[in-house]
Every structure is written in structure tokens, then in C-alpha cells.
Amino acid sequence: MNISDRQSQHGQWSSRWTFILAATGAAVGLGNIWKFPYLTGQNGGSAFVLIYIICVAALGIPLMMAEILLGRRGRATPIHTMKVLAEETNTTQWWQIIGWSGTIAGMLILSYYSVIGGWTLAYIVKSITGIFSGATGEFAASTFGTFVGSASSLFFWHTLFMVITMAIVAGGVQGGLEKAVQFLMPTLFVLLLVMVGYSMTTGYFGKGLAFLFTPDFSKLTGSSMLAAMGQAFFSLSLGMGTIMIYGSYVPKDTSIATTTIAIALADTAVALLAGMAIFPIVFANNLEASSGPGLIFQTLPVAFGNMTGGMIFGSLFFTLLLVAAWTSSISLIEPLVTWLIETFGMSRLKAAIYSGVATWLFGLGTVWSFNLWADLKFFGLTFFDLLDFITSNLMLPLGGILIALFAGWLMSAEHTKAELHIANPLLYTTWQILVRYIAPVAVFIVLLNAIGLL
């Protein structure tokens, strides 16, 4: 069989548009709205934001193109795709490590993602009951503190989140994924605009903008640069096979470059809007910008509690955030689920249950890291922080480099050109230089710099 005629066993997107929606659904999630603001706060603001944007543009876009092209050419799970492509390029099967590391990273990320997804679920309920009406920053912070201090509540919400995730995954690619994203993502976007509108009324909007966008390089350290790079990979869902597997469902005539740019722009816009909504509230209420993973749960309730119609907006906002979290969760576990199906001939249901239970169990470590294990530190980090560091800052960037090297050096130009369909030779060469040299070297420099070797 001619390799470019290979079809995915797991279905194909009905159109280019559904692929964009699904890939945007995978990219836009808690990473944009929950993680981007708190990392920005912890890493001093604008310089972090600038490095993040540079990483998205110079590393994220070319690497996403590389990842989609590998997926579309291999048309299988990341592990099998790499096996097939290694054969095609006559190189060692060791390249399957990309697939393995990505599949494991996806499961590890989902294990904590589910805990935060659980917080979102809990906050829908809290918003509906109206407890945030008239809330002060202090009240929102103490409500959050009490909530995460309770191991049993976090256990409950994490479990509920995972059970529903498994149910969606068991429904299959077309049924489970395509429907949800179409209407809900645009609505989330509009609600974020409403939130930014509220922040404009706080009197601290200018201060929020300055914090995000007036570069202050004195705040830049090796570890904040690494965090910014890791966040670019995390937010675009790169380096772990999600985009590869979504790419494997992409129809042959879709332009990978335009699609990628659209996804990256949408993803970055959502993150920046979230930052613009949150930081003015932080400053207006004397909250700590660097307060960590609880940041949005400590700030947004203040906005909802004090705006007209806040109860409705609040419940709706957390509901949409939840949907965004689910479309990402599904993509995090998809490599493992499809691998179980391809390798052991399991039914989708069984594969979803096995993957879900393993992920859920691992997630308990994160549940406890906010309460029972709060004082347990590994290299100065809690279990959650360590897991996040290993996955976002090490596994994804290293996976991304391997993908870049494979696509840039090992695949023939004939094959990459055929998949990418870039008519303009200059653009093709630019892409090639970025994946061959710039991306690998940049990732190494940032990593070495962060561990103090540069």
C-alpha cells in the first residue's frame, strides 16, 4: 500500500473544520485559563509572557506542523506511528520513544488535570448556590483554602471528573469529541470578554496590563524561562502525541500550516484574555499574584460576586471551563486508549476503563498534595508541582525536540513536502531551519540554563 493512502483505523475528521475545532479543543483548556495566569503571577509577569509568546511563535508553530505531519503520515497511535515511520525512513526503532514518552506524559498530566477539573466542577456548584454574592478577595481566598484543605472533597470531585471523562472517551472520536467543541468554545471566548469588561471597571486595568505587557527583564531567571517554554508546549498540547494522533485523522488535502497558525492564535488569545481578566482583580483586591494554582479560584469569584448577573455568569463560566477541560482531557488520554485498542484488540470501553482507573489512582497523589501531603516535598516541590515540572518542563519539550529532529533530519524532504503542501519554497526552508536547528538548540539552551549549566 502506498503510505500516503494509509487510513486511520480510528476514523477520520469529517472536514478540515472539525479538525481545527477538535485540535483547538485539545489546546484550549485549563492550561490557558487556570495555569497561564498563575504561572505568570509566580514568574513575575511580563517577561514570562514575552518568552511564552516567543516560544509559541518560534518553537510551537513549527513543531506543531511537524507533529501533525508525522501523525498524518503514520496514521496510527503515536507509538505505532513512530514504528511505521522509523521503518519507512530506515532508522532505528528507538524513535518509538517519542510515542512511549508522550503516551505516559498524557496519562501523568491527566492525573492532575482531573483534580483541577474537579475543582472546576465544585466551583460550578458553589457559584450556583450564590455563596460568592458580594464576595471580597479575602472571602474567596479563605473559601478556596478550606476547599482544597479537605482531602475528601477533592477526592470526590476528582473521581467524578474522571468517571465522566472515561464515559466520553468510551463514546469514540466522532461521537465524543466533535459535538461538544463547536458551540461551546466560542461561547467561552465571549464570556472571557465579559470578564475582561468587568476588570476594566475595577480601576486596576492599567496596572494589570502593565504587569502582563511592560517587559521587566529583571524578573527573568533560568527557571522562569523554562516555565514559559514548558507552558508553551503544555498549552499547545505539543510533544506528547496528542497532536500527532489528531493529525492522524486529518484529511489529505488540509493545509497543515494555516491550520496550525489558526490553532496557535486562538490558544494564545484565550490565555492572554484570561490574564487580562484576572490580574486587575488581583491588584484591586490586594491578592497575591504569586499565590499559585488557586489563583483563578481566588479571583474570579470576586468578579462574579460583584457584577450584575454574576451568579449566572459565574456558573456559566465554570461550566464552559469544565467543557474546555474535558475536550483537553480526552486528548490527553487518547494516545493510551488507542494504543490499548491497537495492541491488545481491546474494546474502546475496556481500554477507556483501564486507562481511566490507572490515571485516577495516580491522581490521588495530587489530591493529597494540597492537604494530607502538603508538607511532603521532593526537591522542594510538592507531589503536584513535581509531576507538573517533570511533564511540562521536561517530557514535553524533550518529546518536541525528538519530533523536530525526526521530521527535520530523518524524513525525506519529498515526504515532508508532500504532507505539508507548502508551495512557497522560502516558507518550506524556513520551517526546515526552525525544526532542524532553532528548535532543538533553543530547547537545550533553556534546559541547561535552568539547571544552572549555562
Tell me: does residue 397 bind ligand PHE (CB under 6 A). Answer: no
Q: Which residue among 198, 234, 339, 384 contacts ligand PHE (CB under 6 A)?
A: 234
Choose between 27 and 181: whose C-beta lies nearer to ligand PHE. 27
Q: Could you tell me the smallest distance in angstroms from the CB atom of residue 401 to ligand PHE? A: 16
Q: Could you tell me the smallest distance in angstroms from the CB atom of residue 97 to ligand PHE? A: 18
Tell me: does residue 32 bind ligand PHE (CB under 6 A). Answer: yes
Q: Could you tell me the smallest distance in angstroms from the CB atom of residue 115 to ligand PHE? A: 13
Q: Applying CB under 6 A, what is the total number of residues that bind ligand PHE?
A: 15
Q: Could you tell me the smallest distance in angstroms from the CB atom of residue 27 to ligand PHE? A: 5
Tell me: does residue 235 bind ligand PHE (CB under 6 A). Answer: yes
Q: Could you tell me the smallest distance in angstroms from the CB atom of residue 234 to ligand PHE? A: 5
Q: How far apart are CA 104 and CA 114, in angstroms?
A: 15
Choose between 18 and 392: whose C-beta lies nearer to ligand PHE. 392
Buried b (16+ CB within 10 A) or exposed e, 173-200: beebbbebbeebbeebeebbebbbebbe
Q: Which stretch binds ligand PHE (CB under 6 A): 30-38, 57-65, 138-146, 199-207?
A: 30-38
Q: Which residue among 315, 328, 366, 369 contacts ligand PHE (CB under 6 A)?
A: 328
- 94 burial (CB, 10 Å; 0-12 / 13-18 / 19+) is exposed
Q: Could you tell me the smallest distance in angstroms from the CB atom of residue 96 to ligand PHE? A: 19
Q: Which residue among 20, 107, 109, 225 contacts ligand PHE (CB under 6 A)?
A: 109
Choose between 40 and 416: whose C-beta lies nearer to ligand PHE. 40
Tell me: does residue 242 bind ligand PHE (CB under 6 A). Answer: yes
Q: Which of residues 331-390 bind ligand PHE (CB under 6 A)?
A: 331-332
Q: Could you tell me the smallest distance in angstroms from the CB atom of residue 376 to ligand PHE? A: 26
Tell me: does residue 393 bind ligand PHE (CB under 6 A). Answer: no
Tell me: does residue 240 bind ligand PHE (CB under 6 A). Answer: yes
Choose between 39 and 302: whose C-beta lies nearer to ligand PHE. 39
Name residue, grid cell 490499548: 340
Q: Which residue among 31, 99, 305, 335 contacts ligand PHE (CB under 6 A)?
A: 31
Q: Could you tell me the smallest distance in angstroms from the CB atom of residue 277 to ligand PHE? A: 16
Chain centroid to CA 382: 21
Tell me: does residue 237 bind ligand PHE (CB under 6 A). Answer: yes
Q: Which residue among 23, 26, 154, 323 contacts ligand PHE (CB under 6 A)?
A: 26
Q: Which of residues 50-79 bind ligand PHE (CB under 6 A)?
A: none
Q: Which residue among 29, 62, 275, 294 contacts ligand PHE (CB under 6 A)?
A: 29
| 3-state secondary structure labels for all residues of the chain | CCHHHCCCCCCCCCCHHHHHHHHHHHHCCHHHHHHHHHHHHHCCCHHHHHHHHHHHHHHHHHHHHHHHHHHHHHCCCHHHHHHHHHHHCCCCHHHHHHHHHHHHHHHHHHHHHHHHHHHHHHHHHHHHHCCCCCCCHHHHHHHHHHHHHCHHHHHHHHHHHHHHHHHHHHCCHHHHHHHHHHHHHHHHHHHHHHHHHHHHCCCCHHHHHHHHHCCCHHHCCHHHHHHHHHHHHHHHCCCCCHHHHHHCCCCCCCCHHHHHHHHHHHHHHHHHHHHHHHHHHHHHCCCCCCCCCCHHHHHHHHHHHHCCCHHHHHHHHHHHHHHHHHHHHHHHHHHHHHHHHHHHCCCHHHHHHHHHHHHHHHHHHHHHHCCCCCCCCECCECHHHHHHHHHHHHHHHHHHHHHHHHHHHHCCHHHHHHHHCCCCHHHHHHHHHHHHHHHHHHHHHHHHHHCCCC
Q: Could you tell me the smallest distance in angstroms from the CB atom of residue 330 to ligand PHE? A: 9
Q: Could you tell me the smallest distance in angstroms from the CB atom of residue 331 to ligand PHE? A: 5
Q: Which stretch binds ligand PHE (CB under 6 A): 22-30, 156-164, 274-282, 370-378?
A: 22-30
Residues of this chain that interact with ligand PHE (CB under 6 A) are 26-27, 29-32, 109, 234-235, 237, 240, 242, 328, 331-332
